[in-house]
Amino acid sequence: MVEDGAHVEGKNLGEFDIIARYFAPLATDSSALSLRDDAAVLRPPEGLEIVLACDTVIEGVHFLSEDPPESVGHKALAVNLSDLAAKGARPYVYLLALSLTSKQVAADWLEAFAAGLGALQRRSGISLAGGDTTKTPGPLSITITALGLVPHGHAALRHGAKRGDLLYMTGTIGDAHLGLLLLKQPELAGKWRLSEDDVAFLVGRYREPEPRNAIAIPLRNLASAAIDVSDGLVGDVGKLAAVSHVGAVIEAARVPLSPSARKAVASDPKLLEALLTGGDDYEIVASVPEASASSFEAEIRTKDEIVTQIGHIEARDGTRVLGEGGRTIKLSDRGFAHF
């Protein structure tokens, strides 16, 4: 039992109470053995391959201490679901490794955190198969390992883009970057002439990214290559191009911005560069052969997702961003890197 555990119905919350109370209800797949065993035992469906992804989110690095626990739960799972989405995989099960500080060993924090996880889990069709729970002096750290399923040999991969392919992205770019700036410097809202709704939208995009798992099937069937944009559009397109041994052209005017991001850019045009290179978008970029482009667009529309052509693949190395009149925009920063 943890010494400074939360007070619930007159007793302290220990590790096993935490697992049984907050996480066992999320362990809906029989493989999880109700989280009452040492490990999960999984029997993957015949003919399918398992896609594995692992991402950590750390307080102060990937989310802020003041972020609501629901959104911390949402984000920890969303960033992993986004990696599965980039592979065209159907979400299957996940493992949850929690390093909690004394602040989180509290019933209201855990309940809200599990609710955030649970809501996204139900929408995406993934379930909890196990994990680990430890105490840390800080900061709070959450590692999720997510498993997804794809038909044999059909995962979408980062490499495979070919000269002439069209470059697409889901959703809009830069909202999360603006949301983070607004959380750190609330006075920017006035400078950028944003309404309260704009601020709520942009902060929501930072705290609760929406993984694009709905596009898995068109992605794996029609894209020549795909990547999840987590570290900035330009940098991540560059990674896709580099492993495909091709170059990429992004036309800045085609890059989709939300109405709120447009307002911010209208009052400070220099922001555009930051939106193209910032991070935390969790959108999907895909290269698609021209012959498949109209089917790709049509299929994605049937999934109620938005996809926009932002450029194309070319033979010569490197990633270029074209601005007005087709002139190359020089960018000072190409994306986020931890080291």
Residues at the site binding Mg ion, with contacts judged by CB under 5 A: 132
> 258, 323 in Cβ contact below 8 A?
no
Closest distance of CB 312 from Mg ion, Å: 48
Residues 26-55 that bind ligand ADP (CB under 6 A): 35, 37-38
CA–CA dist 339, 337 (Å, integer): 6
Q: What is the nearest approach in angstroms of ligand ADP to the Cβ of residue 109?
A: 14
> Among the candidate windows 124-132, 228-236, 256-264, 274-282, which touches ligand ADP by CB under 6 A?
124-132
Q: Interface with ligand ADP includes 142 (CB under 6 A)?
A: no
Q: Which does 133 bind (CB under 5 to 8 A by kind): ligand ADP, Mg ion, none?
A: ligand ADP
SS3 119: helix
Instruction: Please identify which residue in 31, 82, 121, 133 interacts with ligand ADP, judged by CB under 6 A.
Output: 133
The dihedral over CA atoms of 299, 47, 243, 252, expressed in degrees to the nearest 10, equals 20
β-bridge partners, 125 = none
> Which residue lies nearer to ligand ADP by CB, 96 or 167?
96
| H or E element that contains 93 | strand 90-100
Between 59 and 299, CB nearer to ligand ADP: 59
Determine contact, residues 192/263, Cβ cutoff 8 Å.
Answer: yes
Give the nearest distance from C-beta 34 to ligand ADP in angstroms: 8
Residue 23 binds: one of Mg ion, ligand ADP, none (C-beta under 5 to 8 A by kind): ligand ADP
Residues in the chain: 339
d(CA 91, CA 324): 41
Residue 19 interacts with ligand ADP (CB under 6 A)?
yes
| CA distance linking residue 69 with residue 109, whole number of Å | 6
Taking the C-alpha atoms of residue 187 and residue 294, their distance in angstroms, rounded to an integer, is: 43
Nearer to Mg ion by C-beta: 131 or 279? 131
If contact means CB under 5 to 8 A according to the sort of partner, which of Mg ion, ligand ADP, none does residue 324 touch? Answer: none
Rounded Cα distance, 70 and 141, in Å? 15
Name the binder of 98 from Mg ion, ligand ADP, none, CB < 5-8 A by kind: ligand ADP
**Which residues lie across from 66 on neighbouring strands?**
none
| 8 or 331: CB nearest ligand ADP | 8
* Closest distance of CB 68 from ligand ADP, Å: 19
- Nearest distance in Å: CB 84, ligand ADP: 18
Q: How far apart are CA 185 and CA 163, in angstroms?
A: 42
> Binding ligand ADP by CB under 6 A: which of 23, 168, 192, 282?
23
State in angstroms the smallest separation of the CB of 137 from ligand ADP.
18
Q: Is residue 171 exposed (0-12), middle (13-18) or buried (19+ Cβ within 10 Å)?
A: buried
Kindly indicate which of the ranges 85-93, 127-135, 253-261, 311-319 contains the residues binding ligand ADP, using the contact rule CB under 6 A.
Answer: 127-135
Binding mask of the shown chain, residues 75 to 104, with x at each position contacting ligand ADP by CB under 6 A: ---------------------x-x------
| Contact status: 127 vs ligand ADP (CB under 6 A) | no
* Closest CB 20 distance from ligand ADP, rounded Å: 9
Q: Least Å distance between CB 280 and ligand ADP? A: 24
Centroid of chain to Cα 5: 31
Please tell me the distance from the alpha carbon of residue 47 to that of residue 30, in angstroms, as a whole number. Answer: 20
Closer residue to Mg ion, CB minimum distance, 37 or 290: 37
Return d(Cα 76, Cα 70) in angstroms, integer: 10
Q: At 230, list the tokens.
A: 């987590």
Q: Are 277 and 335 in contact (CB under 8 A)?
A: yes
Is 18 in contact with 25 (CB distance < 8 Å)?
no
Q: Which residues bind ligand ADP (CB under 6 A)?
A: 19, 23, 35, 37-38, 96, 98, 128, 130-133
